[in-house]
Amino acid sequence: MEVNSRVVLAGAVGNLLEWYDFGLYGLLAPVLASLFFPSHDRMSSLLAVYGGFAGGFAVRPIGAIALGHLGDRVGRRFVLVISVLLMGVATVVVGLLPTYRAVGVWAPVLLIGVRLFQGFSVGGEFVDSVTYLVEAAPQQRRGLAGSVANLGSTAGMLLAAAVAAAVASWAGQARLAAWAWRVPFLLGGVIASGAYYLRRHLPASRYESAPIAKTERESPLRQAIQTQPWIMLATLLFTSGYGIADYVTMVLLPTYAHEFGHIAEQHALRINAAGQALALLIVPLSGWLSDRLLTRRTLLVGAFLVEGMVSWQAFSLVGHHGVAGLWLAQVTFAFLLAVVMGAAPAILAEQFRPGYRVSAHAVAFNLGIGVAGGTAPMVGMALIKATSNPMAPAGYLILAAALSIIGVLQLRERSREPMD
């Protein structure tokens, strides 16, 4: 199967919806903290709302097991359709929830419940779409094809940042807290409708009917653990550092800038949107480079090495140099993350055999990105509170970069080899 425009759009749009929703939740954390987790202690409120953010990611491995199994057994296309329907419903429901003032303690309970449902539904979305795109692509375009999924996720984060900034600027603080915060979530239903339309009649991947190793009764995930345990562990190390870096730099940083750099929310959101716009250009370029010039491993090690080297200075700029400091830090982090997002999808899909590719990739990816990444904003804030040091997230980011470098050096370099 040759990659065509419908396949590309279908692969990207589900990830756009997924990251639009998760981006909104993270970027609107200060508003949601006040509405759903009111407290006299501002740090406690932020920790609570980021706990809900982390909860959605914590159940992603469960969704990865269930949906990854379906992707390997029933087919990649089935998961692409069902996951986008589940995500669309959950996103709209967030926009309809009553706040703490209306229903008391039920408000945070309902919000966290929806986040858990969302986490389950997205557990197989990203990996299934990456697998579908990479399997559909010719050998010399696998990096570019895989980057399309992250192009969608980057576009989703950009759209979330742009919509959040636009609504915050238009509505003002009072109307934003009163009702305008709901509008961005309700718009997610429109995106979901478009995604469903694009995904209804996709052609089959040429690997979907590939023979499954050993017996039909043995689960794909069990096969992966027994056959490639070291690759599973290396993938988990890499994605854990990758996830922490992603959510510290693109979700926590705007809130950090507001709380510790005393930068207005609308300015922080606009700068975050500019960083996402830059990433939108760099992601496919990085995927293309990994096919043509540099190996995927070289690009990934280089990006995380630079990230570890600049992290401390970047957080210092945000905390002490106002809007100008945030501009420099956010754009630098966005560029480095985009390099990773362009090269990572293909190298991860290339690690596993077709009979258990979705299951193995989905579980390793969601444990790393979902658990380590999803908890990163909460851990970052908790480290600040525990140490009374606002630079604590920078140290956490340096650790994340080191983990990713160790992990990616253990992966097989197959960017110039035929896929199994």
Please check whether residue 213 lies inside any domain of the structure. Answer: no
Please check the confidence at residue 362 and state whether its pLDDT lies above 70. yes
- Domain with 405, as residue range(s), is 5-200+219-410
Is pLDDT larger for residue 209 or for residue 285? Answer: 285
Please check whether residue 127 lies inside any domain of the structure. Answer: yes
Distance CA 419, CA 338 (A): 24
Q: What is the CATH number of the domain that holds 304?
A: 1.20.1250.20
Is pLDDT larger for residue 399 or for residue 222? Answer: 399
- In this prediction, residue 268 carries a pLDDT of 86
Please check the confidence at residue 215 and state whether its pLDDT lies above 50. no
Considering 82-86, 127-131, 330-334, the range whose residues carry the highest mean pLDDT is 330-334
Q: For residue 342, name the pLDDT band (cuts at 50, 70, 90).
A: very high
Judged on CB neighbours under 10 Å (0-12, 13-18, 19+), 328 is middle
Alpha helices (H) in 176-228, listed in sequence order: 182-199, 220-227
Say whether 353 sits in a helix, a strand or coil: coil
Ranking 23-37, 137-151, 367-381 by mean pLDDT, the lowest is: 23-37
Contact 288, 296 (CB under 8 A): no
Please check whether residue 207 lies inside any domain of the structure. Answer: no
Q: Other C-beta atoms within 10 Å of 278: how many? A: 19
Judged on CB neighbours under 10 Å (0-12, 13-18, 19+), 294 is middle
To the nearest 10°, report the CA torsion of 149, 155, 160, 164.
170
- In this prediction, residue 249 carries a pLDDT of 93
Mean pLDDT on 124-153: 82
- Listed residue (18, 61, 51) closest to 366, CA to CA: 61
Mean pLDDT on 361-379: 85
Q: For residue 261, name the pLDDT band (cuts at 50, 70, 90).
A: confident
- In this prediction, residue 53 carries a pLDDT of 66
- In this prediction, residue 39 carries a pLDDT of 66
Mean pLDDT on 373-377: 84
Please check whether residue 214 lies inside any domain of the structure. Answer: no
- In this prediction, residue 357 carries a pLDDT of 87
Please check whether residue 212 lies inside any domain of the structure. Answer: no
- In this prediction, residue 3 carries a pLDDT of 52
Please check whether residue 40 lies inside any domain of the structure. Answer: yes
- By percentage, how much of the chain surpasses pLDDT 70? 92
- In this prediction, residue 212 carries a pLDDT of 45
pLDDT tens figures, 84-93: 888 888 889 9
Mean pLDDT on 166-171: 84
Distance CA 175, CA 348 (A): 44
pTM of the complete model: 0.80
Q: For residue 208, name the pLDDT band (cuts at 50, 70, 90).
A: low
Is pLDDT larger for residue 282 or for residue 205? Answer: 282
Please check whether residue 26 lies inside any domain of the structure. Answer: yes
- In this prediction, residue 302 carries a pLDDT of 96
How many domains does the chain fold into? 1
- In this prediction, residue 194 carries a pLDDT of 82
Please check whether residue 158 lies inside any domain of the structure. Answer: yes
Contact 85, 367 (CB under 8 A): no
Please check the confidence at residue 329 and state whether its pLDDT lies above 60. yes
Show the CA angle centred on residue 173, arms to residues 96 and 190, nearest 5°.
35
Instruction: Look over the chain and give the mean of its residue pLDDT values, rounded to a whole number.
Output: 84
Is pLDDT larger for residue 258 or for residue 154? Answer: 258
Mean pLDDT on 148-168: 82
Q: For residue 40, name the pLDDT band (cuts at 50, 70, 90).
A: low
